[in-house]
Amino acid sequence: MVELLKRQPDKYTFSSGGVWYSCPSGRRIVQARTGVRSTHVPYPQGLSKAVADLLSGTNHYQFITALRCSINRKRPVYARSRLLRPIAFLLCQTLPTVGEAGFPKLVIQDWFGIVVKSGVHREIQSRINTAVNRALDKPSVRDALSKIASDPVGGSAEEFRQFLAVEIARWNKVVRNPA
């Protein structure tokens, strides 16, 4: 794919759920590190339309998160149906990782967290954190999340603040210099 994109720069289109999703950043990193060029087609109405147009051939490629693919740990639904041709994957056991496909420094990981408005009393924050951690400890919750390729972490509010600080610093670097 990289060779094809290099041979015909700007001919192919990359679809995404919009500029605020992590996937356009992945394309930007790949372009900066490989020298390929393609046209970004954002879908502010959401990823469902982007995936539908990818499946119809309107666009040529897309980074699709595991959650969006409704993946099981062995093979993405779209790959099993042969509607899309997966090239590399971060979590899937049956596909090469992005690193094995030639991009060892490309790490794009969606994550979800729970935040509250500034000024919410620490006791309420603590109760929410405790309830979430208890839920994440339940085998049924962990099993359900693993079916959509989620790896629940949990932890303290301070650990999450530290994680956010690292993520913000990392993505600031990517935005300023994706290479």
Instruction: Give the span between the Cα atoms of 41 and 27, in whole angstroms.
Output: 11
Per-residue pLDDT of the chain (179 residues; tens, 9 = 90+): 778 888 888 888 888 776 655 555 666 777 777 788 888 888 887 777 887 888 888 888 887 665 544 444 444 455 555 666 666 554 455 556 666 777 666 666 667 888 888 899 999 999 999 999 999 999 999 888 877 667 788 899 899 989 889 888 877 777 677 65
Q: Domains in the chain, please, with CATH?
A: 2-80 (3.40.190.10), 122-176 (no CATH)
b/e string for 12-43 if b means 16 or more Cβ within 10 A? bbbbbbeeebbbbbbbbbbbeebebebeebbb
